[in-house]
Structure 1
């Protein structure tokens, strides 16, 4: 049965993630329930898994079981040792973090990094009491309250509180312009599926779709990711960080796309309309699923009995029926 389930038969009913072991699924589900049964007797911090508590306790015991054979440095976790070894292979000898093994170009950058381990946030907003690790982050946050948007687009009338948001906006203009002029060069092609990219780094990340490589691992759970940005977004599930704030209400979100969807609740905008009926949707994916009601398309098929479904979630639920049938007590 693991052949049909991709060797990961234990599926989370909340988000659809799948796991090889039932115990791993049980730990994962605690992300959704908020359950943290393992508590540190020293500081009161709680964790979803026993292994996380074990790693946490090493901060107090000083235990660092993973040692580097090149320089005798030692680390709390195996992943931290792995990152440290990269500083030798890549020749990036500089300021090293004693906690996780990351390396930095200067002591000032290392000092900022250490705040991610200590949880120190000395800069507090006087309006909403939010706190931040850096003064410049607080200054950027204050623009939410003042409504200041100093970065303006020269192409249209849009303005933004952050320079990075303006840069992303301008790139969208450029993509449209390049598409219209058909001048967008994509010299780096995938030998497997033929997709092409403007940057070699983008092709390298794309290839992980085919190889299944997920080099960026979460230290708080068992999940791993193809890109560093995906890992960064995932970690916010554990930390509870929600950096994307609504300018109209007090809502905050871990992902920018979630904020974008939320904003449509204020505007009432539903940009994705069905051309068969009058239904409209805030998210394109919801329109895609809705259209299958009209077309009858059921792209997700069961390889055991041939049943097909409009949604992947429905297929996963269906597969559980076969598992229960074939692995019920008395089955041989």
Structure 2
């Protein structure tokens, strides 16, 4: 981590600690409950309430210096570095043998086998196997749209959604169909397109192996490219 990143991280931590100090000062009673004014959820500590507020604000102040992924809390960042970048995976799933970096990650993974869904949305009651899935789901109940497109000012709940949206403005079509070579802007578009090829009989060029969904496309191809070599 360079000096600029260290300075930025320090500022983020100081800002979080200042908020935490203000919360403790106004509470007056350490045993008092910590209730979110936006959704009514009750947290056990001031720190947990502060981190919870980041969900509604769309704020993720802790950033990984290796891959730039951001997190709402320092513990989330530390868990990410350990699980993804350190490569230490000492906890094995007793069902499939997959190794995970922590006991919590192993237990979350095991639910993909058991079907258990312990993480429940307090707004609509929908349940999830993993805590991260519940977090993503909660964003759709929130009215906060912190990520704005600089070209059309459309708002998004997550940075990943904004990045996908930006592709539409750029005109790029990075996703290529491996059957007909048609190009698309998003994974969703190419997935829908590929369904059109399911159960279709492909017409294959005997000379170069090119594949076509209709016989007329194959004839056009052969007529324009292989006329001189056909027998």
Give yes or no for the alignment of 1:164 onto 2:63.
yes
Aligned position for 1:240: 143
How far off is 1:285 after superposition? Answer: 4.7
Q: Which has the higher contact order (CA 8 A, sep 6+)?
A: 2
Aligned position for 1:196: 99
Say whether the 8 Å CA contact 1:244–1:253 is kept in structure 2: yes
Cα distance in structure 1, aligned partners of 2:169 and 2:184: 14
Say whether the 8 Å CA contact 2:34–2:49 is kept in structure 1: no
Question: Where do 5+ consecutive residues of structure 2 fail to align?
Answer: 1-29, 71-80, 201-231
**2:33 pairs with 93, 96, 102, which one?**
96
Cα distance in structure 1, aligned partners of 2:113 and 2:125: 21
Cα distance in structure 1, aligned partners of 2:88 and 2:51: 38
Q: How many residues align?
A: 153
TM-score, length-normalised on structure 2? Answer: 0.50
Distance 1:112 1:247, change over 3 A: same
**2:158 pairs with 255, 259, 282, which one?**
255
How far off is 1:94 after superposition? Answer: 5.7
- Residue by residue, what CA displacement relative to the aligned partner does 1:120-157 show, whole Å, maximum 9, x if unpaired? xxxxxxxxxxxx69xxx6xx9xxxxxxxxxxxxxxxxx
**1:218 pairs with 101, 108, 121, which one?**
121
Distance 1:163 1:191, change over 3 A: closer
How far off is 1:103 after superposition? Answer: 0.8
Aligned position for 1:69: none
CA RMSD, Structure 1 to Structure 2 (Å): 4.0
Say whether the 8 Å CA contact 2:43–2:49 is kept in structure 1: no
- Residue by residue, what CA displacement relative to the aligned partner does 1:29-72 show, whole Å, maximum 9, x if unpaired? xxxxxxxxxxxxxxxxxxxxxxxxxxxxxxxxxxxxxxxxxxxx
Distance 1:275 1:242, change over 3 A: same
Cα distance in structure 1, aligned partners of 2:109 and 2:53: 33
Cα distance in structure 2, aligned partners of 1:222 and 1:253: 23
Larger Rg: 2
* 1:229 counterpart SS class: helix
Distance 1:274 1:263, change over 3 A: same
- Residue by residue, what CA displacement relative to the aligned partner does 1:224-270 show, whole Å, maximum 9, x if unpaired? 22233322322232222223332433111123332221010121222
Distance 1:269 1:199, change over 3 A: farther
Say whether the 8 Å CA contact 1:214–1:227 is kept in structure 2: yes
**1:290 pairs with 176, 193, 203, which one?**
193
Cα distance in structure 1, aligned partners of 2:94 and 2:110: 9
Distance 1:114 1:189, change over 3 A: closer
Cα distance in structure 2, aligned partners of 1:115 and 1:169: 22
Distance 1:165 1:277, change over 3 A: farther
TM-score, length-normalised on structure 1? Answer: 0.37
How far off is 1:114 after superposition? Answer: 9.4
How far off is 1:200 after superposition? Answer: 3.2
Say whether the 8 Å CA contact 1:225–1:231 is kept in structure 2: yes
Aligned position for 1:9: none
